[in-house]
Amino acid sequence: MVILRRELLSIVIVVIISAGLAVMAPLSDYDYYLIGLLTSACLWVIYVVSWDLLTGYTGMLNFGQLLFAGVAAYAVALLEIHFPLPRPLMILAGLIAGLCSSLLISLPSLRVRSAYFALVSFAMLLVFHRITMTFIKIFGGDYGLSIPRVFSREVLFFTTIVLMAATIIIMRLIVKSRIGMALQSIREDEETARAVGINIPRYKLMACVISAFFTSLAGICGFYYMGHVGPEIFGMMGSFNVVIMGVIGGTGTIFGAALGGGVLAVLLEYMRPVAEYRNLLYALLLVVVVMVASRGVWGGMVSFWNKRKTKKDLQGIAS
């Protein structure tokens, strides 16, 4: 409850911003281009925020965040095509598939150093890409799987916005709770964390599953919006974009990740004309941020704010 009160302001701000985004749809008279852009930006925000819980807070660098989304989307797609169950059941099945994929990469890397997790997550992405391209009869190969439109664009747009707001708020509450403290202590020093009695494998698993939960839901939303899922979701660039957005926005703050995800996702759309150079530019940006400002844009803003506040306080004492 104390956390809830302390985080009240940020929760209100998140709700206001989300409401503002939601209002843009009726204001633009349901312009499909705008709705599409905003939906994809919101999905990226969910991916990056979930990634931040793993990487920014627990120190498990995940190079394959979209793996969860991809597995969930493929699971729902396969059910939609071959075994049309009631829709909530199918979504639940997709969610479970996404969670299972998170177990697949987290279980082997619970007892080893966090650096190995990065490579396992990365290799997993490669393997799933190969699987979708090899068993063409099941996964459709290059073309992927497509279904006719089920939900209207408007419904999915509002769902995605609600999901985004819920993700940011829940993540924020988690990282400010005891769980978040435990995760941060694992990131800072595993030996000390173990010494004070933190069950490291349990907390790592928890972080992974929570992260996969929201990413899978977003993946399913994205699948219903596009009506399509293809092997490119397991491609290197998609998940790498999540990493870049998170790092540039600022890791370990949730808000930084949300900011980076939102802004860079919109930029991603506007950089379509120079698509060949986009990946190079993003990779360069990542290297620069890691070398110069490892705390990202949000971290830089926070430390600037704190410095000003300290200066003001000092002036207050002096006068």
Does 138 interact with another protein (rule: CB under 8 A)?
no
Q: Which of 6, 130, 202, 307 binds another protein (CB under 8 A)?
A: 130
The label of the residue with tokens 């000003």 reads 308
Does 50 interact with another protein (rule: CB under 8 A)?
no
72 close to 98: Cβ distance less than 8 angstroms: yes
Q: Which of 8, 12, 85, 126 binds another protein (CB under 8 A)?
A: 126
CA-based nearest residue to 247, from 284, 276, 210, 198? 284
In whole angstroms, the minimum distance from the beta carbon of 281 to another protein comes to 9
* Radius of gyration from C-alpha coordinates of the chain: 20
Does 123 interact with another protein (rule: CB under 8 A)?
yes
CA-based nearest residue to 104, from 131, 136, 140, 77? 131
Distance CA 65, CA 56 (A): 13
Does 201 interact with another protein (rule: CB under 8 A)?
no
| 140 contact partners, CB below 8 Å, separation of at least 6 | 132, 230
222 close to 164: Cβ distance less than 8 angstroms: no
Residue 63 in tokens: 């190079």
Does 240 interact with another protein (rule: CB under 8 A)?
yes
Q: Which of 209, 279, 293, 302 binds another protein (CB under 8 A)?
A: 279
Region from 95-103, 150-158, 225-233, 278-286 binding another protein, contact rule CB under 8 A: 278-286
Q: Which of 44, 51, 63, 157 binds another protein (CB under 8 A)?
A: 63
Q: Which of 34, 93, 127, 166 binds another protein (CB under 8 A)?
A: 127
Region from 12-20, 71-79, 111-119, 212-220 binding another protein, contact rule CB under 8 A: 111-119
Judged by CB, which is closer to another protein: 6, or 111? 111
Distance of CA 24 to the CA centre of its chain: 23
In whole angstroms, the minimum distance from the beta carbon of 71 to another protein comes to 15
